[in-house]
Structures are given as structure tokens and as C-alpha cells.
Chain A
Amino acid sequence: MPQGILYDSTLCIGCRSCEAACAERWGLPYNETIAAEERISAHKLTAIETHGDRYSRRLCMHCVEPACASVCPVGALQKTALGPVVYDPEKCFGCRYCVQACAFQVPSYEWNQRSPRMRKCDMCYERQSRGEPTACAAACPTGATKCGERNALIEEARKRMDDKPGDYFHKIYGLEEAGGTSVFYLSAVPFEQIGLRTNVPHEALPALTWRALELVPDVVSTGSVLLGGIWWITNRRAEVAKAEGKRK
């Protein structure tokens, strides 16, 4: 069953335990300076953002149909059955199309490395494969970040909104964005007020490319017949003209 993460901004106290746990899980440095950076980057794969007295959290959304995996020309990014979108740095040749294509601006690149990688959250694929929760969810003291089965999390989110209708802006961010993600947000205010991109199309993005790419076999088959035919006609015409010219 596909897994997911539910982040409830109304429960988040901005303690940044998730950031520290994530850094530890990846073996990345974590100190006060890095904690103050409110932006995901190649050395900080999740970040807590402050928006007035509210918090928000950024991490990979693990789309159901991820744009990054669809555009990667070498298949370095894969959507797993378990839910996480995982990355193989050995395949990656550094075109950064994933960084360009992501509607949530999640993938980061190691710009200053001589042997660079793309970096992003992998929803603790290894841990989840062993049945353990993600590092961030395990570290969260308030339950603001919760991991579990994707469908169960959607139910849970709906229940929270129904139980306390006054506390929530009545929508789940991630349900429709980019055709659906595996990370969901609940918030007390409209999502753009906690820094989320609300202009993301509500359809799976890979379809936009595929509509053009699926025509390739048609272009090749029709085109080769057409061009071959035109060549045959024009060439024949030239031959005939030549032969007639000789006769005269």
C-alpha cells in the first residue's frame, strides 16, 4: 500500500525536530546557521518556514505521477510502489530537467560540487521498506507530521477538519495538486498564506508532455511514407524528363 505524510500546520510548533532528524538520517551537517535557513537546498532536504505566527514545512511531495521521474532522460528517478520517489545518483548525468520540471520547486542541485548530485527527500524509502516511520514523523513531538498509508491519511485529514471545522481552511493541499501527491497539508489559512504554490495544475503533469510525445510513432511512420513517396514521384519525374529529352 502506498505510504504518505500528513503535515498539519495547525499542530506545528516550529521546533525543527524534523529538520534535525532528517539531517541525521542523511548524514548532513545540522547547526544553528543551517536551522535558520528556511529553504530546502542540497544540504537541507526539509525545512520549516515561518509565516507570521504560523509554520509550514517543505519537503518532496512524492507526486502520484511525478513530473521529475517522467522527464528524467536516464530514468534516474523512479516512483516506487511504496510511494516514495527515489533517485539513483549513479545514473544521473546532471541535466537538471527534474529541477526545472518540478511544480513544487523541490529538487536541489549540488551546484558547487565537482561531482554533483540532485538532492531531495526520499520519504525515508529504506526505513519505510523496513516498516519504520519516516525520520521526520518519528521525531515530531506534536504529531504535526504523521506518516502512514496514503488513503488512511486522507481520511484522517478529513476527520480532523470535520471534528474542528473552525480550526481549518477546508481543503487538503496535495489531494489534487499535480494530479495528487503523497504529502498532504492542513492549514488554518489559505495555503498561499503559508507559502505553498497554489497555481499548480490539478492534473498529472507528465500527461502534458506525453500528449506531444505519443505522436512520435505517427510522425515517423506517416513521415517516412510521405517523404519516400514524394522522393519517388519527383525522382521519377526527373528520370522521365531526362529520357524524353534524350529521345528528342
Chain B
Amino acid sequence: MIRRFPKLTVWRAIFAGIMLTALYATYRRAMYGLGGVTNLSDRFPWGLWVAFDILCGVGLAAGGFTLVAIVHIFNVERYKPILRPAILTAFLGYLLVVVALLFDLGHPERLWHPLVMWNPHSALFEVAWCVMLYTTVLFLEFVPMVLERFGWQKPLGWIHNISVPLMIAGVLLSTLHQSSLGTLYLIVPEKMYPLWYTPILPVMFYISAIAAGLAMTIFESWHSSRAFGRALELPLLASMGRVLAVLLSVYLWIRFLDLVHRHALALLMRNRMETWLFLLEIALLATPVVLLFQKRVRLNPGALYAAAVMVVFGFIANRLNVGITALEAGSGTHYVPRWSEISITLAIVAAGFAIFRVVAEYFPVFEIQAQPPVFSETGVTEEERIEV
């Protein structure tokens, strides 16, 4: 299985490049403050790190709670094989969001302040608490994979005993903060472009996060099947694709109705940057709906993957539009992230992929092949696997 990644060295070089650049950016962040590494200003205080690392990071990790709800609360057992990778993605996603926060906060050493300094009227206070509690839940949902690996039965039993309330708490916490990330922007009606500002922004954030979570699950199943040489759970993913299509059409329909009711549709006649980026976002979300409603697309791994990727990009476009595009004109400024903002973001994404791969290789993440036959067949030892 040495040939699993023919371009491994190229990928490694890219990875090292990303990490080294980010290391330098981190040094500059520490030495010169936010002004030294970002293009943020008093007019535009939230940039790429908020719009991508936090809004997208949290949203793309929504597969964790969605699949927990499907498998354990709605008891749809057949989705079980893709539950653990989704939980792992979510757990890593939230940890990386916290890392991003450490870069973005003016005082990262005061990250704990919302624990003891309360303001229940702040949507961000609620998000902070939910993210904190949900990351703990995700840790407890993830840790059985580690315990199983080492055969520690006792703590496994403890976690099993609290698993149902734990999972319900996880779904509720996710519901709260996925929507509250949208609530964050309700306070700026005069700054936000009307194609995006709506009082139902929290609902839209919630639905789109579930869609993004499902799309990410398809995405990571496809990639891990290639990386680890395991069979793709195609029938499962295909049925998930169908759910995704229904969910996204509901989402797009609500957005359309919302634009009609707020008399914002006419704005699309204007030749402005906002119009084009809005249309790009909608196209990226509507095309996969058309694709996924066709059975032959759902049962074609490549096409299914392409549709899922489009949903992910459509989701990212939405969050970047809400977090950046929609606020530029109203703030009277133009924001383009500086190289160091992009560098840190890239490094966080790259770290996510790398850690997922390492964890998935060493712990029973993919349950069907808890002991991947490829290793027993070829007799590759643990040390050798690290090298691969």
C-alpha cells in the first residue's frame, strides 16, 4: 500500500510550505498584533478569520450532530458506518475553531472570560458557551474510539451510561449555536446588504449548516475510501444525497420567499459585486439540488462527490458573503484579506486534513474495517504506517 498516495511527497511539500508560512504569520501576529497581520480596521473589524475559520468551521462540522441525531436518536442504524468519521470531523473542526479564535481574539489569554463574565443578552456569549459545552460533548463522543483502541472497557461503560442525554445535549447545543452564529448579524441591519440581511438569518444558518454537515460527510467518506483503500458506502451516501437535495430545496425556497417578502428581489437587477456573488452562492447551492434529484447522479460516486463539493463551496460562499461581502458597502469600506490571514486559514484547514488522516489511521474510526485488512494482508507494521 505504499502507492496509496503517489503524489505524497508533493503534498508533503505543500503542507510544509503552508505550515512554515503560517509559522511566520503567527510570529508576526504575536509581535505586531492584529494590525500587523490583518487588513481589519475600525470600519471592518471582522474578516476572513471570523467569516471562514469560525462561521464555516463550525458549520462544516455540523455533520457530527446531524449524524448522531440520525443514528442514535432517530435510530436509523444503517447510517452507523459513517457516524464516527462525522464525529471525528466535528471534534477536529471545533478544536480548530478554537485555534482560529486564539489568533483572532485581541486577548487570546482571556478566552475563558465568558465562563465567569456573563452577558446573556449577547449572541456571542451564547455561542461561546455552546461551543465550549459542545466541544466537551464531542470529546466524550470521540473518546470511545481511543478507549476501544486500547481496550479500556471501564471508562467505555461510563460513557455508554450517559450517552443518550449526552447526545441529546449535543444536538440541542448545536441547534442553538449554529443558529446563533446567524443571530450575530441581526444587530447590523443598516450595514448588511438586504440580499442577506433577514430576521430569519438564524434559521437559514441552521438549515444550511445541516446541509453542509451532510455534504462534508459525503466528501470525507469519498476521500477516506480512497486514502484508506476501503469500499465506499455508496447506497448510504446516495440516500444521504437525496436528503441533502430535499433539505437544500427547502432552504432555497425559504430564501426565495424571504427575498420576495422583503421586496429585495429587485436588487438582483443591479449590476453590483453583491449581485454577482449572491448569484454565485445560489448557483453553487442550486446546481447540486438539480444533480442530486437524479438517481444516476446519486449512484455515480464521482458525480455524487462533485455535488457534495459544490454544496460545501456554496455553503462557504454563503458564509463569506454574510461575513464579508454583505458588510462592505454598508461599512463604507472594502476588505481583502492580507496574505497572513489567508496563510493562517490555510494552515488550519491543512492541519484539519492531516490530523483527521492520522487519527483515522490509528483509531477505529471506520467501523466496518476496524482492523483494515490491507494492513494484516501486507503485514505492514505500525512504524511503517507512520512513514506512509
Contact = CB atoms under 8 A, between A and B. Distances in A.
Interface string A100-127: 1101010111111111110000000000
Given A95-B124, A96-B46, A209 B107 contact: no
Interface in B61-106: 69, 72-75, 77, 104-106
**Chain B at the A interface: SS class:** helix
A211 interface: yes
A73 B124 contact: yes
B122 A93 contact: no
A141 interface: no
B42 A41 contact: yes
Contact of A70 (B113, B122, B126, B128): B122
B121 A70 contact: yes
B388 interface: no
A199 B199 CA distance: 17
A228 B122 contact: no
> Which of A76, A101, A107, A117 counts the most chain B CB atoms within 10 A?
A101
A100 B186 CA distance: 11
A15 interface: no
A100 B188 contact: yes
> Which of A101, A206, A208, A212 counts the most chain B CB atoms within 10 A?
A212
Interface string B110-150: 11011001111111111110000000000000000000000
A92 B122 CA distance: 14
A25 interface: no
A235 B41 CA distance: 53
A157 interface: no
Contact of B126 (A93, A100, A208, A216): A216
A74 B105 CA distance: 13
A100 B190 CA distance: 11
B183 A212 contact: yes
Interface string A60-78: 0000000100111111100
Given A213-B180, A227-B172, A70 B33 contact: no
Contacts of A205: 187, 189
B107 A93 contact: yes
Given A92-B106, A113-B33, A197-B190, A223 B171 contact: yes
A219 B123 contact: no
Interface string A202-238: 0001101111110010011001100110110011011
B207 interface: no
B36 interface: yes
Given A111-B41, A220-B172, A231 B164 contact: yes
Contacts of B6: none
A114 B33 contact: yes
B168 A231 contact: yes
Given A73-B125, A96-B46, A103 B190 contact: yes
Interface string B177-206: 001100110111111000000010010000
A210 B168 contact: no
Contacts of A117: 106
Given A71-B123, A99-B42, A208-B199, A112 B36 contact: yes
A200 interface: yes
A96 B107 CA distance: 11
B32 interface: yes
Contacts of A91: 113, 117
A230 B117 contact: no
Contacts of B331: 105
Contacts of A190: none
Given A94-B105, A114-B31, A70 B75 contact: no
A97 interface: yes
A95 B104 CA distance: 7
A234 B74 contact: yes
A45 to B, nearest CB: 12
Nearest to A238: B75
B35 interface: yes
B123 A209 contact: yes
B164 to A, nearest CB: 6
B190 A74 contact: no
B385 interface: no
B236 interface: no
Given A94-B107, A231-B168, A212 B180 contact: yes
Contact of B75 (A71, A223, A237): A237
Contact of A116 (B106, B113, B120): B106
B176 interface: yes
A93 B110 contact: yes
Contact of B114 (A73, A108, A110, A210): A73
B187 A71 contact: yes
Contacts of A112: 32-36
Contacts of B122: 70-73, 97, 209
